[in-house]
Chains A and B, each alone.
Chain A
Amino acid sequence: MLFDDNNFDYNFFNLANFNLTDPILTMNDDKLVSSKEGFLRGNMFKNEYVPYKNMTYKQLVSQNEKEELLFKVMEMNFAVNDLNLYLDIHPEDRMMYEKFKEYTNKLIAYKDEYAKKYGPLCLEETDSDNYNWYKNPWPWDNQGGSMYV
């Protein structure tokens, strides 16, 4: 299913490794929403989300397997980006860094799977018999619903 995270059973939150009295380290597990929710609403941080009026964010429905996998890539890319900005100004936050690494690993895995099945998202993923980077539709070319790349 779309956004089903069950394939990934990462356990980066072994709190025994950390000093639990450190407020930064104990807080962050509760700081974030899931990558799925974060991506949909454009904000990974529980206490930073400010809705507009009474509006709720849009739910994404994938039309096919290709799109489902692409949404996964985009979701991970989003989570990595949002944590990246946070870590730039809070580089000492070790638990957030562990979360960042978790999402980075997922991004690499999904991107790799997508490239193997459907073609490159990044130039260096081009490894088919024929050069196909130029061939994949570009993100701005909407062809009726199910195409973002």
Chain B
Amino acid sequence: MFKYMKTLNYPIDIKKKDLKMAKYLYTQFGGANSELAAALRYFSQKFTMPDDIGASLLNDIATEELGHVEMIATMIKQLTKNASVEELKAAGLGDMYSEHGYGIYPANASGVPFTITYVAVTGDPLADISEDMAAEQKARAVYENLIDLATDEDVIGVLLFLRQREIIHFNRFKELFKYYKKKGY
């Protein structure tokens, strides 16, 4: 089961409206390398990990990633606070507005809806964990692109934190991969 705790993983306090940045950030909400994809990927793969070590690591990282989904959506919400329809149109968010209004819909930066086809589950621990390692590297690269695009310190601070988490997760998955390899999988 899951229990909710009423805090973010890391404080987010964005005071400056920035609709272009909000649009870019959608990539980490509902894109191919998004936090949502990460959470669902590890959550689904955990059921067929061969032992408690793999099951617990995938379960615990999936849980953390769900918190990151909430962080990205929180950033989008704060960046678009009090935005007019005219401003949304000017920032390229008019298409999103036509279907979703001010709602935060899991889609990528181009408005393409999230799809679970971004995620692979093979039932093979080495194949699944290899995918997880790649996913963490791709997400790290995306965070670096987003940091390059960002101008507000309050946004960059959060992105640097999230990027660092991808590095840690990659290292843990790498250790898990080596562990299963050594066990003969």
Contact = CB atoms under 8 A, between A and B. Distances in A.
Interface of A: 39-43, 45, 48-50, 52, 55, 57-58, 60, 70-71, 73-74, 77-78, 81-82, 84-86, 88-91, 120-123, 136, 138-140, 142, 144-145, 148-149
Interface in B150-166: 153-154, 156-158, 160-165
Nearest to B169: A85
Interface in B12-57: 12-15, 53, 56-57
B7 A140 contact: no
A35 to B, nearest CB: 13
Contact of A86 (B8, B77, B158, B172): B172
B147 interface: yes
Contact of B53 (A77, A78, A89): A89
A85 B167 contact: no
Contact of B172 (A57, A88, A123, A144): A88
Contacts of A81: 9, 60, 64
Given A70-B7, A122-B3, A148-B12, A48 B171 contact: yes
Nearest to A142: B78
10 contacts: A42-B165, A55-B160, A57-B157, A58-B160, A85-B168, A89-B57, A139-B6, A139-B74, A140-B74, A142-B12
A117 B104 CA distance: 33
Contacts of B6: 120-122, 136, 138-139, 149
Contacts of B161: 40-42, 57-58
Contacts of A49: 164, 167
Contacts of A139: 6-8, 70, 74
Contacts, number: 123
Contact of B3 (A60, A70, A123): A123
Contacts of A123: 3-4
A3 B178 CA distance: 37
B156 A48 contact: no
B53 A121 contact: no
Contact of B13 (A57, A82, A142): A142
Q: Select the residue from A73, A90, A142 with max chain B CB neighbours within 10 A.
A: A142
A55 B147 contact: yes
Contacts of B61: 85
A140 B7 CA distance: 9
B60 A88 contact: yes
B11 interface: yes
Contact of B11 (A71, A85, A138): A71
B185 interface: no
Nearest to A81: B64
A64 to B, nearest CB: 13
Contact of B168 (A58, A82, A90): A82
A140 B60 CA distance: 22
